[in-house]
Chains A and B, each alone.
Chain A
Amino acid sequence: MASRLVQGQEGETGGRLADPSISYPIIPAGEQTVWADVSPLIASACNDLQDGQLIHGENFSLFAAMSALEIMDPKMDAGVEKCGYYSIEEAIENNVAPVPLSLNPTLDVQRVIDVIDHLFSCEATWYKGHTLAQTVFSCIYLLRIERTSSHALLHSYCRIMRATCNAVISVVSDSRTHEEEDLFTMAYGLPLKGEGDEKCLSILNSVEETISRQLRACKAQSLKKKQLEDIEPLQSNPDLEEGYCRALLCRLRFRKHYYLVLTSMKKPQGKGLELARKHVASCLSELTHITKSQEFLRALSYGFHQDDIQSSTTASGCRPIGFDASLNNRFSAPTPPRATHILSWKEAVSYFQKLLSDLDFVCSLNTDLVLDDVFCFIVQFQKPQPDLVARAHLQLIINLLKILCANTAWQRRKLGKILQDWSVLSLQLEIAFKREIGETLNVMVDENMSTKVSKHLLRWTEERTYWIASRFLTLGFELELYSPYDYCMVYWFMYLVFMKLLEKIQLQSAANNENSQRKGKKKKDHGKDQIRDASFSSSTLLIHCYICLSEGLAMILAALRNESKAFHMVGPFNGEEERFIQHFDLLLKAHVPEHATYYLFKESTGHARISSIIKDNCFREAQKIITSLRGSYAGNSDKLIELQQLEQVAERNRVALSVIDQIGARDPSLTVSFEFTHHPHFAIAVIKRS
């Protein structure tokens, strides 16, 4: 006997059982299944346990506990929610996704466009981090593609949507960025694989061709020209034919070009990147036409309710038919379902515009140049360096490149972890080098080629190591990991790291100069050297600027702490030393730099006073450097923007410093806060008087 879901039992501790006043629909048993009532069994099992007793399995871990679901708890049990249909079949039986979408050809076309637009919004929502099941595959037409085969337009669009989803999922899973992309690629229970998806482009092309001919026909008719062929119009209202044809064409063409972007970018060794850029341009152009079509579509509501233009998920404003977000709730295991807010159509358009320009940026990467440089560098590397070091080095570089592509939160953790590896590598290189030479690095003697390369490699590795350390520290600002109580020590540490970085760059530059002098290089090589020297000198100047700003900020904060106890916090459980150790744990463990202890921090900052900082003039020095850098960076808009930001930081801090000096740091009416209004890493002191 088919039975109802359990209802009406008295609630146990923490039990959230079915509401006895609601009657639940009966789910029929399948061919191989039968319903059995287990209420008496459960009841007697409950009676068997006393209050406070727990059956504790050996593998009862926190993970197991957290993964457990309580049946009938709506926060955890997807099936208990009464809204929506129980199955796709039930929804179809209730005419939620008819094929055709309307018997009226005009309304049918309108509704197809609404489906296309809503799918577009769902797609953008999926990319932003929701599940496929609750976005794109909330579309019943996609869930049962075979039903659409009688409707050429809808069918071809569904086929290419499915193929596009597959392409995107495979790119994300292949990249293995370990960025918790599992949610993105989760497709359990969804009909993603389809036969003949390679043909989807040709199917789409033939539909596009038909509509193009329909457009030509209606334009010819409006000009009272003789038609070359007898073609059935797209829909039944001649006044709307052109508008509908155009609206459909740009959407189909966007889909086609977007799919081609993905397939081009997937070609090995970057062979398809240039072609991909062309398709990106086509996509952006079609997006403009799609946006323009909104005016036409919005005017035709056919009496249906139209959503507000900002919140609607379609261009026309009408709600699309054929979607049910709750159908796939059971497929979003193991997490309970969350209401997914689908982006509006306008937001989706902006999203894709940005996505396409980001993809274009990736495609513009000059792979030849970058890989060649790395390759040549490694090839130059000869014995007697052991092979293992060379291979490990190459792997470290590639790892570093991969890490830099990840989201910043994950990136920072990884950068901290690899510091140890880079530091050890430097050490190994140094030991190997010393062993070969048998003397200190600073003595310049007649060196053979491999010695020079070893030295170069060692310095390059050391420079990279400090670069990683500086990025680790500055990312902390972007990720909002530091509280104002931490700024002083962070800037102090940045000061140390930038100093070391500068030292390594300057060593490298000096060695290069020496090499070119001794070799008596030919004229044509000088040009290349000059460019390299110029870039060396501007990067050293920029680092010098960072050093001044870091020093200045560390000292202001230290002075304020020393003179007025501002930015000084003593917690009930620990002090500043523990926070120092925690923040810089990975750097300290890797000895990057050496001897950067809390003791040294206290020594360096313990006597800071506002008056002495003004005398030191760090910010003015920074400003001088910035002025001289403007010339070198002319034409480089990114660098010029940063210079502008750094200039603001230097100027405002210089002014703030003199204001604090005038008022007196100990004045109780003085409040100083530090804001990141201009540069993401270097704060500006903001003064308030109460």
Chain B
Amino acid sequence: MEAAAPVVVVDAAGTTEVEGEESEVFSPSDVEYISYGGEHHLPLIMGLVDQELSEPYSIFTYRYFVYLWPNLTFLAFHRGRCVGTVVSKIGEHRNTFRGYIAMLVVIKPYRGRGIATELVTRSIRVMMESGCEEVALEAEVTNKGALALYGRLGFIRAKRLYRYYLNGVDAFRLKLLFPQWHHSPTTNKDGVHLHDNQYGETQIVP
């Protein structure tokens, strides 16, 4: 569980702010996490994302995600109110089976209390169980909160994308690699690998 100090904002493409007086007082155990259950959840998700993120998404975009991968979308409720959501997908990308986090939002009064981390963790866990090799997403280079959140989960900043967003801000491509059944290749002096590894090398010393 994260510390109660409300410090960072955790949305995927929004701005960072330091929270203070506007925080809602609640106990983390009062927050319910629910998997996407159907059409009735869609307006809640759209409302949250529209309100908090600057990039506009058409309704087709939402339906694309929640229809094809309902098990990867989660909502966070506090006393019946939807306070956060994560929307993701899984797919083949250049010969890798990869998860992708498309949207992550927690409304302002509830930030800094670990809700976003919990939402993302649940989504990633489903990805892992589905056999994904890695998870990817983009975040603005200025979004310190998101970068810290994903950094703690083991994501690295794989690439910097110049002027990725419409407002001209750069983005980082963040990636998390799941441990495969590889081992660190140990070699004898002829340079022959002892195990199968991720580079597709299949020489095996008898």
**Cβ of B151 and Cβ of A54 under 8 Å apart?**
no
Chain A hits for B61, CB < 8 A: 62, 65-66, 68
Q: Which residue of the partner chain B has the closest CB to A599?
A: B184
Chain B hits for A129, CB < 8 A: 163, 168
Smallest beta-carbon distance A310→chain B, Å: 21
Stretch at the interface among A95-103, A217-225, A578-586, A674-682: A578-586
The docked-state distance in angstroms from the alpha carbon of A65 to that of B61 is 5
Q: Does A531 contact B (CB under 8 A)?
A: no
A482-B59 contact in complex given A578-B177, A599-B186, C-beta closer than 8 Å: no
Complex partner residue of B43 from A13, A578, A597, CB under 8 angstroms:
A13
The docked-state distance in angstroms from the alpha carbon of A589 to that of B160 is 21
Smallest beta-carbon distance A410→chain B, Å: 6
A579-B184 contact in complex given A54-B67, A336-B56, C-beta closer than 8 Å: no
Chain A hits for B59, CB < 8 A: 13-14, 70
Smallest beta-carbon distance A414→chain B, Å: 11
Smallest beta-carbon distance B187→chain A, Å: 6
B contacts with A, residue count (CB < 8 A)? 49
**Cβ of B170 and Cβ of A409 under 8 Å apart?**
yes
Interface residues of B in 134-173 (CB under 8 A from A): 141, 151-154, 156-163, 166-168, 170, 172
Q: Which residue of the partner chain A has the closest CB to B193?
A: A597
The docked-state distance in angstroms from the alpha carbon of A480 to that of B63 is 35
A-B contact count (CB 8 A): 128
**Cβ of A65 and Cβ of B60 under 8 Å apart?**
yes
A180-B162 contact in complex given A13-B43, A480-B141, A571-B153, C-beta closer than 8 Å: yes
Chain B 167-190, CB-CB to A under 8 Å as 1, else 0, gives: 110101001111100001111000
Smallest beta-carbon distance A493→chain B, Å: 14
Interface residues of A in 308-353 (CB under 8 A from B): 335-336, 338
Chain A 279-305, CB-CB to B under 8 Å as 1, else 0, gives: 000000000000000000000000000
Q: Does A257 contact B (CB under 8 A)?
A: no
**Cβ of A64 and Cβ of B60 under 8 Å apart?**
yes
Q: Does A435 contact B (CB under 8 A)?
A: no
The docked-state distance in angstroms from the alpha carbon of A52 to that of B128 is 29
**Cβ of A574 and Cβ of B157 under 8 Å apart?**
no
Chain B hits for A480, CB < 8 A: 141, 157, 160
Interface residues of A in 582-605 (CB under 8 A from B): 582-583, 588-589, 594-595, 597-599
Q: Does A436 contact B (CB under 8 A)?
A: no
**Cβ of A76 and Cβ of B157 under 8 Å apart?**
no
Smallest beta-carbon distance A48→chain B, Å: 17
**Cβ of B56 and Cβ of A76 under 8 Å apart?**
yes
**Cβ of A595 and Cβ of B187 under 8 Å apart?**
yes
**Cβ of A481 and Cβ of B191 under 8 Å apart?**
no
Chain A hits for B158, CB < 8 A: 481, 582
- Bin chain A's interface residue count: 35 or more
**Cβ of A338 and Cβ of B58 under 8 Å apart?**
no
**Cβ of B177 and Cβ of A582 under 8 Å apart?**
yes
Chain A hits for B39, CB < 8 A: 51-52
**Cβ of B42 and Cβ of A13 under 8 Å apart?**
yes
**Cβ of A595 and Cβ of B191 under 8 Å apart?**
yes
**Cβ of A412 and Cβ of B67 under 8 Å apart?**
no
Q: Which residue of the partner chain B has the closest CB to A475?
A: B160
**Cβ of A578 and Cβ of B178 under 8 Å apart?**
yes
Chain B hits for A60, CB < 8 A: 60, 64
Chain A 472-513, CB-CB to B under 8 Å as 1, else 0, gives: 000000011111011000000000000000000000000000
Q: Which residue of the partner chain B has the closest CB to A183?
A: B163
Chain A hits for B179, CB < 8 A: 574-575, 577-578
**Cβ of A597 and Cβ of B166 under 8 Å apart?**
no
Q: Does A90 contact B (CB under 8 A)?
A: no
Smallest beta-carbon distance A236→chain B, Å: 45
Complex partner residue of B58 from A76, A412, A572, CB under 8 angstroms:
A76
Q: Which residue of the partner chain B has the closest CB to A52?
A: B39
10 closest Cβ pairs, A-B complex: A571-B154, A75-B56, A52-B39, A65-B60, A409-B160, A578-B177, A68-B58, A409-B162, A599-B184, A479-B160
Q: A129-B163, A574-B177 are in contact. List 13 more A-B contacts (CB 8 A).
A: A64-B60, A65-B58, A65-B64, A69-B58, A76-B56, A336-B56, A480-B160, A481-B156, A482-B157, A577-B184, A578-B178, A578-B179, A597-B184
Q: List 18 A-B contacts (CB under 8 A).
A: A65-B58, A65-B61, A69-B58, A129-B163, A179-B162, A338-B167, A480-B157, A482-B157, A485-B151, A573-B124, A573-B128, A574-B177, A577-B179, A578-B178, A578-B179, A581-B177, A583-B156, A597-B184
Task: State the A residues within 8 Å of B (CB).
Answer: 13-14, 51-52, 54, 60, 62, 64-66, 68-70, 73, 75-76, 129-130, 179-180, 335-336, 338, 407-410, 412-413, 479-483, 485-486, 569, 571-575, 577-579, 581-583, 588-589, 594-595, 597-599
